Amino acid sequence: MSDYSPVQLSAKWLQWMDPFLEETQALWEKGRPRKRFFSFGLPEHDAYVGEYAPSPAKAALLYEGEVVWGMIARAFFAAYLPGKNTHYGSVIYSTGGPEFDSVFELAWKVNELRQDNSPPPPGTQAIAQAMRNDRSDFARLMLPREIDESESSYLANLCIHRTRLSGGYLHERLLPILICPKKTPWCCILPLRFWSAQMKDVWLAGSPANDPVRYQAMLKKYNIEP
């Protein structure tokens, strides 16, 4: 919703990124769902919400996923408002290569492709088209060398579960996600109970909720509720 730059966000988060991720990864490894012989269905109740990822992908993520940082590149505007409905968005994440703070810069570059209506630079057409089409239903797209020289980062779609966000809406663009590259190209937000207490505090200190009154016209236009 609001404008951002990698400099502004890096200054706020950079000092916390390594400790937060390490603590969160430890909480996940200690308490993650364990698949038993008689385990049927998905281990998280809210995993049944969402139209993007198929059930086998959700199971792989929740049983075998690893925690990495995801940076929101775009999200349906209602996800920034208090509400009950589930919405969707896209994140930037890396499987290795760039330092953690590079997710800010990569998200900035990808977001710029959406803001600019001119023909995208050579090599970035697929990412630009995905960002400019709010109904794109891909699992993930590798960022081209023109954006990420390491070719180990992705633009990925995901469901924005309110139950997995501290406060129930997007306060910040940076959040922990689960990936399982060997089993599925899909990703999902890490269940909230695995977020560290400090991470929740910093997250909640982010942008205050936007006033839904400001968006009544858009809500009415799209016939949606936050």
Query: How confident is the prediction along the chain (226 residues), in pLDDT tens digits per residue?
Result: 444 454 455 556 666 777 888 899 999 999 999 988 777 889 999 999 887 899 999 999 999 999 999 999 999 888 988 888 899 999 999 987 545 557 888 988 998 898 767 889 999 999 999 999 877 889 999 999 999 988 899 999 999 999 999 999 998 888 999 999 999 999 999 999 999 998 898 888 877 776 667 777 877 887 877 7
Domain that holds residue 58: 6-32+43-221
Kindly state whether residue 178 falls inside one of the protein's structural domains: yes
What was the pLDDT predicted at 21? 87
What was the pLDDT predicted at 1? 41
Number of domains present in the structure of the chain: 1
Kindly state whether residue 1 falls inside one of the protein's structural domains: no
Kindly state whether residue 189 falls inside one of the protein's structural domains: yes
What was the pLDDT predicted at 14? 65
Kindly state whether residue 38 falls inside one of the protein's structural domains: no
Integer angstrom CA distances of residue 164 from 71, 128, 168, 199, 215: 15, 28, 7, 13, 24
What was the pLDDT predicted at 41? 86
Kindly state whether residue 226 falls inside one of the protein's structural domains: no
